[in-house]
């Protein structure tokens, strides 16, 4: 499973970086979305892959940490997901505004000369 997980992150990152380097604003937004999936999965993976051990404590008395997945990367990723939503919204609006002002959806605000 680790290999598949790693490969998935790789493919998401590759697609994201490719789109990031494209000239149209919508491509860049899509790229950022893919890249944020990859990064979130990567951070999440830092807690290692464990199944059926959600970090929700279901025992009383002394608690054995080995029965639960690492909650720290999960907490980090949770905030990252919400923030990436906010940035996507902001980028979208900047894109629309820039499009209205410059008349093009090229990332530099004007069509390339060549």
Partner 1 sequence: MTLTLVVLIPFIGSLCAAFLPSHARNAAVWLSGMVTLACVTLVVSLFPDVAAGQVVRAQWNWVPALQLVFSLRMDGFAWLFATLVSLIGALVVLYARYYMSPEDPVPRFFSFLLAFMGAMLGIVLSGNLIQLVVFWELTSLTSFMLIAYWYHRAEARRGARMAMTVTVAGGLCLLVGVVMLGEIAGGYDLDTVLAAKGTVTQHPAYPVMLSMILLGALTKSAQFPFHFWLPHAMAAPTPVSAYLHSATMVKAGVFLLARLWPVLHGTDLWFWLVCSAGLSTLLIGGFAAIFQRDLKGVLAYSTISHLGLITLLLGMNSELALVAAVFHMMNHATFKASLFMAAGIVDHETGTRDMKRLSGLAHAMPLTATVALVAAAAMAGVPLLNGFLSKEMFFHETIFAGEGPLIRIVLPAAATLAGMFSVAYSVRFIHQVFYGPLATDLPRKPHEPTRGMLLPSLLLVIACVLVGTLPGRTIGPFLNIAIGAILGDETPDYSLQVWHGFTVPLAMSFLALIGGIIFYVLLYRRSERALGRAPVRAPVDGRRAFDIVMVAIIRMCDRLIRMISSRRLQMQLLLIVFVAFATAFVPLWGYGWPAGDMKLTPINPIFVVLWLVGCACAIGAANQAKFHRLAALIMVGGAGLVTCLTFAWFSAPDLALTQIAVEVVTTVLLLLGLRWMPRRLEFDDPRRRTLRARARRVRDIVLAGTVGAGVAILAFAVLTRPPVEVLEPYFISRSLSEAGGRNVVNVILVDFRGFDTMGEITVIGVVALTVYALLRRFRPAPESRVPPRAQREDAAREALESGEGLPRGYLRIPATVARMLLPMAGLVSIYFLLRGHNAPGGGFVGGLVMATAIIVQYMTSGVLWVESRLRIHPQYWMGAGLMAAGIAGILAWFAARPFLTSLEWDGHLPLVGDVHLSSVLLFDLGVFMVVVGGTVLMLIAIAHQSLRRPRKTLPPDDSVETPVRVTVAEV
List the interface residues with partner 1, window 23-52 (CB under 8 A): 23-24, 26-31, 33-34, 37-38, 40-42, 44-52
Size of the site for partner 1 (CB under 8 A): 89
Residues 5-24 that bind partner 1 (CB under 8 A): 5-24
| 20 contacts 28 by C-beta, under 8 angstroms | yes
Find the shortest distance in angstroms from Cβ 42 to partner 1.
Answer: 6
State the residue for tokens 């892959």: 49
Residue 106: what are its φ and ψ, rounded to 5°? Answer: -75, 145
Interface with partner 1, residue 101, by CB under 8 A = yes
Measured in whole angstroms, the distance separating CA 58 from the mean position of its chain's CA atoms is: 30
Interface with partner 1, residue 4, by CB under 8 A = yes
CA pair distance 107, 89, nearest whole angstrom: 17
Find the shortest distance in angstroms from Cβ 36 to partner 1.
Answer: 9
Find the shortest distance in angstroms from Cβ 111 to partner 1.
Answer: 10
Interface with partner 1, residue 113, by CB under 8 A = no
Interface with partner 1, residue 82, by CB under 8 A = yes
CA pair distance 3, 9, nearest whole angstrom: 10
CA pair distance 89, 67, nearest whole angstrom: 38
């Amino acid at each position: 499973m680790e290999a598949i997980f790693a490969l998935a992150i790789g493919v998401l990152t590759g697609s994201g970086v490719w789109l990031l380097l494209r000239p149209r604003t919508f491509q860049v937004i899509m790229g950022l979305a893919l890249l944020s999936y990859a990064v979130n999965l990567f951070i999440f993976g830092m807690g290692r892959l464990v199944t059926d051990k959600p970090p929700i404590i279901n025992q009383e008395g002394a608690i054995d940490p080995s029965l639960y997945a690492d909650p720290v990367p999960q907490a980090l990723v949770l905030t990252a997901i919400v923030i990436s939503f906010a940035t996507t919204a902001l980028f979208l609006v900047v894109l629309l505004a820039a499009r209205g002002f410059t008349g093009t959806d090229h990332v530099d605000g004007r069509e390339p000369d060549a």
